[in-house]
Amino acid sequence: MTRWSIPFTRVHLTGREIEYLREAVESRQLAGDGSFTRRCQRWLEQATGCHRALLTPSGTAALEIAAIVAGIEPGDEVILPSFTFPSTANAFVLRGATPVFVDIDAHTFNIDPGAVAAAVTPRTRAIVPVHYAGTLCDMDAIDAIARDAGAVVIEDAAQALLSVRDSKPAGSFGALAALSFHQTKNITAGEGGAILINDSSLVARAEIVREKGTDRSRFFRGEVDKYTWVDIGSSYLPGELIAAFLLAQLEDAAKITAAREAVWARYHQLLAPLEEEGVLVRPRELSQGANAHIYSILLPSFADRMHVIEELKRHGIGAVFHYVPLHSSPAGRKYGRTSGSLRVTDDVSERLLRLPIWSGMSDEDVDLVTQSLGTALRAARGQGVARLLPQM
């Protein structure tokens, strides 16, 4: 096993996790929807401005709830990027819908609104923009297309907590949005997530779906005198231990994000010369108010990327590629279809490299990564592997 001197990602600990866990344990209230869950949900509602936040066991579970309450049915089509995590599509396949994979923009790696517009059919029921790396999608364009198509917008904001666009937070644009608190995300509980609900007419059903199809949430609020099975649903509540850990993280979310932004900015500055040499392309500035979830670069070729990953690994530096496009995955081919060219998706998935980024990375760490990267890229070029980057 590789011993990483600079791992790709590392969980930030705030110091209050144990204290909150102890409080939860001593309260003996360990099932879901206790006081820690409520405090997390209130924090999320305030931070995102969403109408209602409900904690879930994962971002995946949040997407599954969203697909149910959006009324997705067999035969429906859901437009989403191919360049995303499988859960973005799987939640809708579970409802019998067909994911329609479209291309991404070459600069933001976010869903291309032009491709979305071209993919709309009378069967289109939902559009799922994924805020890649925490950079918000062009939500004005997507909203306009959705309105014309009579489709619901469900944001996959799994990577985007505390990102903003035009001062509007991620998760406040769509009727529904999903957040993830997986270990790899900026703010984590190991596993965890939340569904954010902006269309108030969907809150009641979301509560029921999340509570195994029962109206137990209403019962606990004293709105009904017994609870019973009223709809489809599943076990979509995290326990209080998860919420206790998460609350400690949420309370420091701004600090954690700022620490990541500093790493992001240092990479961006130090990698400018390599971009000028033409051996890599940097991401755009954090101009869209992204949360520094990912610092990714484009390398000249797939072969360069393999070489660089191996070289960095030799130095104990964890740099990783990202998605296998869903349209070329076994399940994506079986359950979905494509619309238009997926040229950018295919290209980016072969050349994109993510550099280590976490709260607590020192300036020296960032310097070492960029130096090792430069050495590896120049060596690759010396071997005649690298070509000049095509203009994007």
For 248, counting Cβ atoms within 10 Å of its Cβ (0-12 exposed, 13-18 middle, 19+ buried), the class is buried
Per-position DSSP letters for 280-341, written without gaps between them: -BPPPPGGG------EEEE-S-HHHHHHHHHHHHHTTB--B--PPPGGGSHHHHHH-EE-S-
Closest-CA residue to 128 (of 169, 93, 164): 93
Closest approach of Cβ 191 to ligand PLP, in Å?
A: 6
Among 82, 90, 163, 180, binds ligand PLP (CB under 6 A): 180
In the complex, least distance from residue 85 CB atom to ligand PLP, rounded to whole angstroms? 4
Q: Which residues, including other chains, have CB under 8 Å from residue 233's CB and lie 6 or more apart?
A: 68, 208, 209, 210, 211, 212, 213, 214
Those residues whose C-beta lies under 8 Å from the C-beta of residue 26, and which sit 6 or more positions away, are: none
Please tell me the distance from the alpha carbon of residue 382 to that of residue 133, in angstroms, as a whole number: 32
- Nearer Cβ to ligand PLP, position 25 or 331? 331
**Residue 110 near ligand PLP by CB under 6 A:** no
Q: How many residues bind ligand PLP (CB under 6 A)?
A: 14
Q: Compare residues 156 and 365 and give the one whose CB is closer to ligand PLP.
A: 156
Instruction: Compare residues 129 and 318 and give the one whose CB is closer to ligand PLP.
Output: 129
130 makes contact with ligand PLP (CB under 6 A): yes
When computed from its CA atoms, the radius of gyration of the chain, rounded to whole angstroms, is 21
**Residue 135 touching ligand PLP (CB under 6 A):** no
Q: Determine which residue in the list 134, 193, 233, 336 makes contact with ligand PLP, applying CB under 6 A.
A: 193
Q: How far is the CB of 317 from ligand PLP (least distance, A)?
A: 22
Tokens found for residue 110: 């976010």
Longest dimension (CA), the chain: 75
Q: In terms of CB distance, is 47 or 158 closer to ligand PLP?
A: 158
Residues in region 331-390 near ligand PLP by CB under 6 A:
none
* Separation between Cα atoms, residue 164 and residue 337, nearest integer Å: 31
* Distant-in-sequence, close-in-space partners of 198: CB < 8 Å, separation ≥ 6: 50, 51, 172, 173, 174, 175, 176, 177
The two three-digit tokens of residue 45, written as one number: 């509602």
Site residues (CB under 6 A) for ligand PLP, limited to 38-97: 58-60, 84-85, 87-88
Report which residue's Cβ sits closest to ligand PLP. Answer: 59
Which one, 33 or 156, has the nearer CB to ligand PLP?
156
Nearer to ligand PLP, 61 or 377 (CB): 61
156 near ligand PLP (CB under 6 A): yes
Binding segment for ligand PLP (CB under 6 A), chosen from 73-81, 155-163, 166-174, 375-383, is 155-163
Which residues sit at the interface with ligand PLP, rule CB under 6 A? Answer: 58-60, 84-85, 87-88, 130, 156, 158-159, 180, 182, 193
